[in-house]
């Protein structure tokens, strides 16, 4: 007995069907918001580790993937996924990173102040930089900073090179950053406007101006 043609009972999704699907998602705000958020997030695989276990029939391999996720607007997260397949490990790591996302304080395209952070044997130093400097960092620290939205920063890894510890030390340092307004607010003070220092005159001009006025 011949099977019925699937194209007759289930027509392919054309242009009109795609438009209807977009309209149905727009009608439900939650679905549209989740789709927009997922589209804005970027995932970066920092490190993939392979471990093996000797069993009676041979070796059994397992993989762990360290994934960093961020929206480049001050939100970043880190996740470690483990599975017997590389693709599943990366997928799990991305899901954990999206769940563990935190907000960090940034000042324009750089960080507010210098910070030294430690996690385990890793030690990461972060310093603000002037516009146009770029991200001066290794690939592990760079993945976290780019995902958070930092564009100008100076960094140095001073301790262990373990990728997981370096990533966590970088994230811990970003979480400890505080803006000037936040510090004043925590102390119950009003933010004072910054005043420009007086211009520095060349030697001799100041004395000449004072004699003229006299």
pLDDT at 36: 54
Average pLDDT over residues 67-93: 94
HSE of 152 in the Cβ direction (CA atoms, 13 Å)?
12
Dist CA 181 CA 172 (whole Å): 21
Average pLDDT over residues 114-130: 94
Over 80: is that where the pLDDT of 46 sits? Answer: yes
> Which among 126, 119, 121 has a CA at the least distance from the CA of 141?
126
pTM of the prediction?
A: 0.70
Distances (CA, A) of 187 to 55, 180, 183, 184, 190: 61, 11, 6, 5, 9
Tell me the CA distances in angstroms from 84 to 43, 57, 76, 88, one per residue in order: 21, 16, 26, 8
Tell me: the pLDDT tens digits for 164-213? 999 999 999 999 999 988 888 888 888 877 777 788 777 766 555 555 55
Largest CA distance in the chain: 115
* Inter-CA distances, 54 with 59, 61, 185, Å: 4, 9, 58
Close Cβ partners of 212 (under 8 Å, ≥ 6 residues apart): none
């Amino acid at each position: 007995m011949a099977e019925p043609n699937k194209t007759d009972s289930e027509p392919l999704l054309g242009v009109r069907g795609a438009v209807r699907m977009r309209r149905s998602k727009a009608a439900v705000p939650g679905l549209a918001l989740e789709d927009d958020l997922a589209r804005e997030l970027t995932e970066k695989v920092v490190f993939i580790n392979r471990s093996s276990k000797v069993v009676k029939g041979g070796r059994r391999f397992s993989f762990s993937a360290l994934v960093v996720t961020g929206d480049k607007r001050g939100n970043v997260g880190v996740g470690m996924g483990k599975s017997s397949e590389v693709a599943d490990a990366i997928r799990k790591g991305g899901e954990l990173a999206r769940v563990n996302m935190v907000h960090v304080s940034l000042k324009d395209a750089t960080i507010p102040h210098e910070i030294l952070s430690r996690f385990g044997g890793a030690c990461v130093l972060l310093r603000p930089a002037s516009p146009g400097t770029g991200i001066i960092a290794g690939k592990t620290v760079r993945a976290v900073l780019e995902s958070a939205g930092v564009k100008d920063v100076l960094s140095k890894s001073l301790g262990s090179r373990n990728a997981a510890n370096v990533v966590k030390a970088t994230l811990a340092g970003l979480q400890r950053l505080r803006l000037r307004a936040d510090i004043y607010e925590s102390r119950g003070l009003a933010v004072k406007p910054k005043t420009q220092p007086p211009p520095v005159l060349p030697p001799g001009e100041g004395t000449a101006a004072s004699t003229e006025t006299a």
